[in-house]
Chain A
Amino acid sequence: MSVVHDGAGSTRRLADGSVEEAGWIDVEGERVFQVTRVPSGDVTAWVLLCSAVGGEHDGGYRRQTMLARQLVAAGVATRRFHYRGTGNSHLHTTATRETMVADAVTAGRTLAERFPSARGVVLGERVGALVAAEAARALGARDLVLWHPVCDIEAYRRELSRAAKLQKVTSGIEAAGDAGAADFAATYEAGEGDLIGFSVPRALIESFADRPLVDSHPGADCAVHLVQFGRNRLDPRFERLADAWRQAGSTVEAHLLDEPELWWFAPGPWKRGEELRPVTVAALALTVPLVERIADGAAVAP
């Protein structure tokens, strides 16, 4: 693995023999923070985790860690990473579609090169799904798992706007006369939306403007596993996406989780350990066996 910026001390070996490696990979001369979990035995599949951004990233990151730690027992290597301009990755970059896809493809490519006989899986959460679909195609991944994907960036921007208003109401900021609170719409128009302290760069949103998820078909050889959080009926947006990709030659399985996610509000109102959140328990109970089945398939017919 091409860990740069002093990898010494960044690897830890666990009691089960697996290894967790944390560090940075180089993308276009800038650094991308990543953590890779490698099983002790044969690696049957690798999973690249493309996270959401902002509050959705903070809410979902622990879930990714838990997923990685559960999958290692099935011989699955995983890599999670922070896009440049976010988290512990390069500071002086504004994340856009181009940089996020480049980060994902580089992170996935080094993983694929390291485990050439393993089956490649890319998982994308929310906005990360837009990145994951493009990365899956570039990497020739055999499976794409989408956790409640953002299908269209403009709809997502409207969701953020509603989330900002709702947060003001639920936290009581609005009742207090809005003193000191940021106006999401105004700050977004000015170039950087302020969603209760999370940055939503206009450049990021606009970079996905002409690229709805349906246009990023991962390739006919790539099986798609779509996971919807909450509701007992598939969202019409997801139905349209699944239909379009089936017509393009992919198999698309849809999975419904009973538990809804709070997305931009998570883990805010919960205030408890992620391990206890019903939605996380449900998401892992569905995804771990799903990836294990994919890995088993790879072992039988590589």
Chain B
Amino acid sequence: MSPATIPVADEAVRWIEAGDETVLGVVTRPTTAPRGTGVVFLNGGHGGSSSGKNRIYTRMAAALADLGFHSVRLEWRGIGDSTGAVDEYVMDEPFVEEALGAAQLLRDEGCGRIAVYGECFGARTAVVAAPQLPDLEAMYLVTLVLRDGALSEQNPQRLLDELPAREFVKRLGKLRHIGDARRRRLYVDVARNKARQVVQKARYRREGHRELAPWVGRQVVTGLEHLGARGVPVHLVYGDSYWDPHRYDFEAVAADLAPLRHDTTTWQVLPEMIAGYRTLPVQDHLVALVAEWFDRAVPADG
């Protein structure tokens, strides 16, 4: 097909009021018979503007438009043309209001069913927002981060995992460089994370998740459980790159993560550098996979 004959999706820009911020969204309308389903794209933190890295969301939107889907791609607060400023994206402080605003935009476009694509911080936001989306039909989650906190806090967290509480307390008594403010902040961070993990471990035991690692965020457990109980198809995707720690985190706990046992929840580890969309072929592959999956998960006939 020559470029001149490719159908071009109709698009519109919308400003979404979310709390104190106004975020920019780009709505794409179907090029074929509408399914009445809209897909919300939720970017990773600092993942670029609404079009995404190398315009991956613009391409996904076009592929889905050809299948009859509406979609909206967002710029989080502090990104691109949206208002606000963000220092670090903290996983357990997702921007739910912005996601809900984007979904409402699609309802205003006439969509009776909502689906979500989320990557990294966007995936966490999607899982947390799900209970407030009664018309949610499907969710595609790429590199869902299981740990809480900002990404910069997560490597110290991983180091902590190796350290039993007894050893940890013993080492607290031998702290060096405690006079240095930066080190002190680090120690406080480490201690806070350890305390959080001890509390979380007790809580998971009480709730019957005896084997679940305490660093798995509670939002992830309750969010995925909620989605499974509702029967919403959820697909989790991780990449196979040695430097992508989220995939290792996921594989370490997948067997103990009870919500994954729901029939409607599936996952796969692709033999590609998915995190950060690190190559052009990965992006092309993902665009195709996402279009295929939503096509199957949310059939045109409802």
Contact = CB atoms under 8 A, between A and B. Distances in A.
Interface of A: 5-10, 12, 20, 22-24, 31, 33, 35, 54, 58, 61-62, 65, 82, 86-88, 90-93, 171-173, 176, 179-182, 187, 192, 194, 196-199, 267, 271-276
B280 A23 contact: no
Contacts of A20: 15, 81
Given A6-B10, A187-B280, A199-B54, A273 B15 contact: no
Given A58-B48, A61-B80, A181 B279 contact: yes
B242 to A, nearest CB: 5
A12 to B, nearest CB: 5
B6 A275 contact: no
Given A10-B14, A65-B80, A92-B6, A275 B277 contact: no
Given A65-B80, A91-B58, A198-B53, A182 B279 contact: yes
B278 A196 contact: yes
A5 B27 CA distance: 11
A214 B46 CA distance: 35
Given A92-B6, A181-B273, A197-B279, A9 B14 contact: yes
B15 A182 contact: no
A82 B86 contact: no
Given A9-B14, A10-B13, A62-B79, A197 B59 contact: no
Nearest to A23: B13
Closest 7 A-B residue pairs measured CB to CB?
A10-B13, A22-B13, A6-B12, A92-B3, A275-B85, A182-B279, A58-B48
- Among B6, B54, B152, B281, which residue has the most Cβ atoms of chain A within 10 A? B54
A286 B50 CA distance: 28
A130 B264 CA distance: 52
A88 B14 CA distance: 13
B8 A92 contact: yes
Interface of B: 3, 6, 8, 10-15, 22, 24, 26, 46, 48-51, 53-55, 58-59, 62, 78-81, 85-88, 151-152, 240-243, 271-273, 276-283
Contact of B49 (A61, A93, A197, A267): A61
6 contacts: A5-B12, A172-B243, A176-B243, A180-B279, A197-B277, A273-B86
Contact of A88 (B6, B50, B87): B50
A203 B111 CA distance: 40
Given A12-B15, A199-B54, A22 B24 contact: yes
A5 B11 contact: yes
Contacts of A82: 51
A99 to B, nearest CB: 12
B80 A197 contact: no
Contact of B273 (A58, A180, A187): A180
Contact of B280 (A9, A87, A182, A272): A182
Contacts of B53: 58, 197-198
A12 B88 CA distance: 27
A35 B15 CA distance: 12
A95 B186 CA distance: 46
B53 to A, nearest CB: 6
Nearest to B80: A61
B49 A9 contact: no
Contacts of B152: 271
A197 B87 contact: no
A62 B80 contact: yes
A271 B88 contact: yes
Nearest to B105: A9
A92 B276 CA distance: 24
Given A22-B81, A180-B279, A173 B243 contact: yes
Given A176-B243, A197-B279, A273-B78, A9 B12 contact: yes
A88 B242 CA distance: 32
A93 B11 contact: no
Given A88-B50, A180-B282, A182-B279, 5 more contacts: A88-B55, A172-B242, A173-B243, A176-B241, A192-B280
